[in-house]
Amino acid sequence: MQLQDILYSQGFGTRRVCAGLIQQGLVQVYEPNRPLAPVRYELAATEFEAGGLSFKVQGVDWPYADKAYLMLHKPAGTECSQKPSTYPSIYTLLPAPLRQRPQKGAVQGVQAVGRLDQDTTGLLLLTDDGKFIHRLSSPKHLVPKVYEARVKHPLDERQVSRLIEGVVLDDDPKPVRAAACVAVSSHHLRLTLTEGKYHQVKRMLAAVGNRVEALHRSQIGALRLPDDLAPGQWRWLSAADLALINATSGAR
């Protein structure tokens, strides 16, 4: 695969732009026999085996990824939309190549796997793998998502029981149930859901006579938000991270 095509596939611009980066000496490649000393290449048509390749573009290290899988610690006051209406988009927290990765001939970039409300914080996954998005978002796969809710009024056993038994929301006569629910403290509820509806946690708590004051998603499947990933920060998902997700998402 030509070096300019590799950079194009990773979101560094059109093939002409990528060729220009290479010709200007702004691209270095980590060769297997020289892993600590990247080599500068100035010929855009230089051939490489893309799988497992690492390179440096304008001083920043990048791994080649056929598909991008990321986790983001979503901060409050951000929207999970490419075209936000009020608050900044979560996509502004990502570097340009991740926002510009091409898909089927068009620049689409990575997409959020589901959405969190603008005031909700926590674990958010992003990818350009459509099958991965569908598998984690489809209610038939029952992927558990764990939320930490701080509530206005003291919790009691009746509220917890009702959330597990099921509550009716105003737009659906079918009861919505929590897969698990525990009162961590008088004003801290840990709720596990396997489906996603608009403002679901907030509406479920309202249905039992309480109110969500703050909401945080701490886990998707068996993958927990790392303690060392600060709000607004992102990182690539490791093979171990993907294994934790796939173990609870019906992946084969």
Q: How many other C-beta atoms lie within 10 A of the C-beta of residue 16?
A: 10
142: left (phi over 0), alpha (psi -120 to 50) or beta: left
| Backbone angles phi and psi of 78, in degrees to 5 | -135, 150
- 75: tokens are 């901060």
Q: If we measure between CA atoms, which residue out of 146, 96, 138 comes closest to residue 113?
A: 138
Q: If we measure between CA atoms, which residue out of 121, 108, 149, 86 comes closest to residue 225?
A: 121
Tell the burial category of 161 from Cβ atoms under 10 Å away from its Cβ (0-12, 13-18, 19+): exposed
Measured at the CA of 154, the angle between CA 166 and CA 201, to 5 degrees, comes to: 40
Active site residues: 117
Distance of CA 103 to the CA centre of its chain: 18
* CA 136/CA 113 separation, integer angstroms: 7
Q: Where are the alpha helices (DSSP H) in the chain?
A: 3-9, 15-23, 96-99, 130-137, 157-165, 200-207, 239-246
* CA 224/CA 33 separation, integer angstroms: 36
Instruction: Kindly report the length of the chain.
Output: 252
